[in-house]
Structure 1
Amino acid sequence: MLKQSLLSLALATGLSTAAHAESVNILMEGVPDTEYVKTLLPEFTKETGIEVNLEVVNYAEMHTKLVPQLLASKGSYSAIVVDFYWVGEFTKAGWLAPLDDMIKADNFDTSVYVPKMMDLVGQVDGVTYMLPFYNYAMGLLYRTDLLEDEANKAAYLEATGMELAPPKTWGEYLEQVKFFTKDGMHGVVNQGLRPDPIAMEWSNYLFANGGEFHDADWNATLNTPAGVAALEQYKTNVNEYGPLGSASFSFDEAFNVMAQGQAYSYITYNFFRTAIDDPSQSTVAGKVEIMPVPGQEPGVGASLNGAWGWAIPKSSPNPEAAWTFLKWVESKKIAKERAMQGGSPTRIDVFDDADLNAKFDYMGAMKDMLLTSHNFPVFTYTPQLVEVLGRELSLAVADEATPADALAAVEAEMNELAKKDGKQK
């Protein structure tokens, strides 16, 4: 009887503990980096006893799901991931909890992150609200086999007086796009769909011409010689050197053109570097490499940065457990394990890891891409700016507005948004 009573007590205690086991609920986007995190969750639960429940949805649903929870006094999400598009909105609304006290208490080293990552999805006005999760900076995918072909080398030297090699400057790249548009091959494929794909891709053209979105006082600087040249070049690449219909391509359609061997180059998100080597979806596996988008001078990068960050909302029902998860998932060990599966690092020490570089020989290029990248304007109205920019760029590509008029329209609306947000004095 005594043994039976003790057994009943033990079972009851175990069931009670299980029923009250702490859990962390996180809303995440359905992307490869989320899957890499998911594979490691049993390890976290084993170490901490904390269960992690991931609610995975597509990007279009995320903002709609997040806002009501962020507005609540006590929401259902312990932690969230934040796209750089939303950083200005979420921090100005006061929805994210500052992490500095927890970082200091646990001596969590944030200096290991690529500085541009902390600028984009880490700190705002000197306060740390996020830990960078993964990056989706844009780079230049190009066909190495075409560059190494002896006939191409001879023809290119005769046509341009230059050696055929990975482009060191933006001018060299444009020459290569023109040269490789022949015999059914396109020099480039673009993602011209409005608003997001074209806005993000064209930003690389702006930076490559030495332009920026605004000055130190947030006055828009798009209708400039650099901005106009960037839009004229983009329009030419889409209409003269790219496949028919690319003005309405999203990144999936553009990637398919590149993966089927129909284009020499494609400026796109860095996670496509892994995908282009997958024989199940690419006919040019082993024949494509990635590099930072080249700028006006050798060594000057022009890639657009992009990233997501981990955050703890002020409405989190259990911020302490959420922080336990964040510092674990962003530890060197776990960040490396995610990267070894194909994830996009944000930590310099992970980029420099010998095992990772042995597995992926393009990690050095990925690191350089981030170190020399440029950030899109981050403020409360970033999504609205993307809409305006995409609209006007598309009009220019379709010959419904001149490049100068299109950029003047973007400038006017961007300045109004910056004033509304208190960025302009």
Structure 2
Amino acid sequence: MTDNDMDRPNGDCSSESNRRKRRANADPPLPRRKALKTLGMVGTTGLTFTAGCSGDGGSTGESGGDVEPADSITIVAENNPDTAALEPLVPEFEEETGISVEMDVISYEVMTERVSTQLQSSDPGIDIAPLDHYWPGDFAEGGLLEPLESRISDSDVVSGDTYYDKVWEATATYDDTVWSIPFFHYTHVMMYRKDILEDPDLEEQYDGEYRVPETIEEFVDLCTFITESTDEDFYGCAMNGQRGPMIHDEYMDYFNGLGGEFVTPDGEVMLGDHKEAAVEALELYIENMEEGAPEASKQWNFINSTEAMTNEEAFSMLSYVPLFSPIVEELGDKVGIAQVPGKRPPLFGWSWSIPANLDEQRAEAAWQFIEWIESFESRKRRAMNGAVPTAPDVVADEEVIETNPPFFEIQESLLNNAQPWPNVPGTNQVVQDFGTELSQAVAGEKTPEEAISAGIERVENILQ
């Protein structure tokens, strides 16, 4: 992406022409059927910014009243299934409000730098900044986000009571202040081939109960068995071993599944107190990587592992819940969804935020879009397009459930069991640094004991 791509376009503000122009300079459109081939990769470095660098003349956070909204907004968004589910609704917002929308859909790596840079700019190029779970604490402490309490109090649409408590607390709030509104969550689930578990020959060969595993140990044993008992090019598990967020997030399924606690919601480091579980989890993770997954999994991200599933090269994967819908589109009822073994999945999410460096007209236009896209009708339609719901009213809707029953029926129990990852300042760097230690252990450069010990020290240095 060039510097020119990051500027707001001038001239004609026709909604369709601007949106298509922006798309042409970024990534290609994301058809539902092709989502797996164009999802944005993950592998970013830590967030960097200077506190207090937002531009002058920013929004006061006051909403409505006599503030006339700007006639156009730019939204930067990650290229993923939830963004794809939202895009068909945008023309209706434009028609209803007269506000044109430029959707700048880009990969995760580009987005991280883009958001961090634009939030500090005196001439911001974005009006709505979706935030990954790790970012709000850092950005809020830097004075780069508008607090949203006054807008919410004046709104007849947006309310914290609408959303699941865990999702709201984990993605919308930091330090008792609301900085963003939930967009979608990406809690981990187990996705697996039902037809493999229904194979009578494999069931007869298996030494144990041939079922969806309930513990991490059972999961590793099952993946090893399937790898050894099926075709040479078929594996028990497709894994995400790429350094950084990928390996960190997947490892957390193993660690949480053994009862470990990494960091409390307010940032207190608990990893040292759970070192034994941390080491055991890494040993099991490496065992599954060596015995139950393709060798290439050591470098894979979720795009690679998802393609392994859709290409029918793997029995299972532990990964982000938004990926289930596109996998079902490829495999149909061959694939099932279940809680991750141990039933303590990490909860992560994306949310909508308004940059503090916007003038009041642009901030008002941004808020009108957030209100519109977070109305019940918009959230329902996004869910029917394959988006992950963040509120019980959508999850309980019969029309929504009919579009993908297993996906929506698991949401309630999934979120009840989920362990929210904190969004306090420094957690983005924690994910990077701890993920590096995990990668060194997987590569054989350190023992699990050495990697976890070093990881504990690095986490404590960042957060304490």
TM superposition score normalised by structure 1: 0.86
Q: 1:372 aligns with which of 402, 414, 417?
A: 417
Cα gap change, 1:360 to 1:183, in 2 (>3 Å): closer
Cα gap change, 1:371 to 1:102, in 2 (>3 Å): same
Deviation at 1:142, TM superposition (A): 1.2
Paired with 1:21 and 1:255, the residues of 2 have a C-alpha distance of: 40
Counterpart for residue 126 of structure 1: 176
Counterpart for residue 324 of structure 1: 368
What is the aligned residue count?
390
Which ranges of structure 1 fall in alignment gaps of 5 or more residues? 1-14, 296-300, 420-425
Q: 1:204 aligns with which of 249, 253, 266?
A: 253
Counterpart for residue 346 of structure 2: 304
Q: Secondary structure at 1:84's aligned position in 2? A: coil
Q: Is the 8 A contact 1:180 1:187 kept in 2?
A: yes
What letter corresponds to residue 287 of structure 1 in structure 2? K
Superposed CA RMSD in Å reads 2.3
1:232 aligns with 2:283: yes
Counterpart for residue 166 of structure 1: 212
Q: 1:392 aligns with which of 437, 444, 451?
A: 437
1:291 aligns with 2:355: no
Counterpart for residue 314 of structure 1: 356
Paired with 1:266 and 1:401, the residues of 2 have a C-alpha distance of: 25
Q: 2:397 aligns with which of 348, 353, 363?
A: 353
Paired with 1:334 and 1:393, the residues of 2 have a C-alpha distance of: 40
Q: Is the 8 A contact 1:79 1:316 kept in 2?
A: no
Structure index of larger Rg: 1
Counterpart for residue 76 of structure 2: 27
The 5 A counterparts of 1:80-99 are 80-99=129-148
1:69 aligns with 2:118: yes
Cα gap change, 1:263 to 1:56, in 2 (>3 Å): closer
Q: Return 267-276 or 124-133, whichever deviates more.
A: 267-276
What letter corresponds to residue 335 of structure 1 in structure 2? R
Paired with 1:183 and 1:52, the residues of 2 have a C-alpha distance of: 50
Counterpart for residue 413 of structure 1: 458
Cα gap change, 1:55 to 1:178, in 2 (>3 Å): closer
* CA distances 1:327-375 after superposition (whole Å, capped 9, x unpaired): 1101110011111111111112111111111111121123422332123
Q: Is the 8 A contact 1:139 1:293 kept in 2?
A: yes
What letter corresponds to residue 392 of structure 1 in structure 2? E
Counterpart for residue 301 of structure 2: 250
Deviation at 1:102, TM superposition (A): 1.2
What letter corresponds to residue 176 of structure 1 in structure 2? L
Counterpart for residue 263 of structure 1: 314
Paired with 1:266 and 1:32, the residues of 2 have a C-alpha distance of: 18
Paired with 1:48 and 1:88, the residues of 2 have a C-alpha distance of: 32
Q: Is the 8 A contact 1:213 1:377 kept in 2?
A: no
Q: Is the 8 A contact 2:81 2:323 kept in 1?
A: no
Paired with 1:217 and 1:26, the residues of 2 have a C-alpha distance of: 30
Paired with 1:61 and 1:101, the residues of 2 have a C-alpha distance of: 32
Paired with 1:209 and 1:371, the residues of 2 have a C-alpha distance of: 18
Paired with 1:208 and 1:112, the residues of 2 have a C-alpha distance of: 29
* CA distances 1:186-211 after superposition (whole Å, capped 9, x unpaired): 22221111122111111111100100
Q: Secondary structure at 2:394's aligned position in 1? A: helix
Counterpart for residue 36 of structure 2: none
What letter corresponds to residue 305 of structure 1 in structure 2? L
Counterpart for residue 102 of structure 1: 151
1:219 aligns with 2:265: no
Q: Secondary structure at 1:302's aligned position in 2? A: coil
Deviation at 1:73, TM superposition (A): 4.8
Counterpart for residue 446 of structure 2: 401
Counterpart for residue 51 of structure 1: 100
Counterpart for residue 292 of structure 2: 241
What letter corresponds to residue 115 of structure 2 in structure 1? L
The 5 A counterparts of 1:146-165 are 146-156=196-206, 159-160=207-208, 162=209, 164-165=210-211
TM superposition score normalised by structure 2: 0.79
What letter corresponds to residue 196 of structure 1 in structure 2? P
What letter corresponds to residue 200 of structure 2 in structure 1? E
Cα gap change, 1:154 to 1:376, in 2 (>3 Å): same
